[in-house]
Amino acid sequence: MNFSKKIVYKNIACLFSCAIFFILTSCEEDLTKNKGSKSKNFPSQIINNANIVQRDSGFVVLKAKAPIIEKYELIDSPYVVARKGIDIEFFDKKKPKIPGRITAKYARIFEYKKFYEAKGDVRIKTNEGQRFAMQSIFWDQKKNRIYTKDTVYVTMEDGSTLVGANGMTAKDDFSEYTFYNNSGDFSSKRLSENKKTTP
């Protein structure tokens, strides 16, 4: 009688310890799975009242200011976000003392790709005094091109205006641009000087 009880107790103890082992093993597996699937898409750096200066061979090509900058560096395509707006000055070697300017309510910058995206009341002023207004714009700095599919409102320094209803593409120094489905009161002389438009 006592012998059978001891066997039963030993069996129960063995089963109990096996159960604990499997529970702990499965918990460890779950923990490793959770760690592996954890999102890395969180800011590695947060900069308040940011001032960014970008140089090319010593020449300042860009200055940017933003209330807050978040850097996402732990992902495959790192980027920088300015969620509360950005103010960018861009400089041309031909007119280094008169910068152009881009302002927007939101911006995202892919530093390695040198690709910029701006959204929300985007305003651009060139160093020649031309003003552009649209809701979003993309700037591929490697290709020296900017483009948008939004309606673009343009005011020249002489007051003439143009609306590109289906967006535009342009060189990033605005020496050449193409509007799509445009209308306005640009003088034909001004357009023929150095600008290109597509009806």
Q: Tens of pLDDT along 135-179?
A: 999 999 899 999 999 999 989 888 888 888 888 998 887 788 888
Q: Which helix (H) or strand (E) holds 173?
A: none
Euclidean distance between the first and the last CA atom of the chain, given in angstroms as a whole number: 102
Cβ neighbours of 22 (radius 10 Å) = 10
Give me the phi and psi of 164, to 5 degrees please. Answer: -100, 100
26 has pLDDT over 50: no
90 has pLDDT over 80: yes
Question: Does residue 134 sit in helix, strand or coil?
Answer: strand
Higher-pLDDT residue of 38, 6:
38
Tokens of 167: 């967006």
C-alpha span between 7 and 44 (Å, rounded): 58
Decide if 138 contacts 124 (C-beta within 8 A). no
Give me the phi and psi of 149, to 5 degrees please. Answer: -105, -5
Q: Please tell me the predicted confidence (pLDDT) of residue 141.
A: 86
Confidence of residue 27 (pLDDT cuts 50, 70, 90): very low
Q: Please tell me the predicted confidence (pLDDT) of residue 57.
A: 86
C-alpha span between 35 and 44 (Å, rounded): 18
Q: Tens of pLDDT along 39-56?
A: 667 788 999 999 988 888
Confidence of residue 20 (pLDDT cuts 50, 70, 90): very low
Strand 152-155 and strand 161-164: pairing? antiparallel
C-alpha span between 99 and 92 (Å, rounded): 7
C-alpha span between 153 and 160 (Å, rounded): 11
Residues 6+ apart with CB under 8 A from 76: none
Decide if 114 contacts 138 (C-beta within 8 A). no
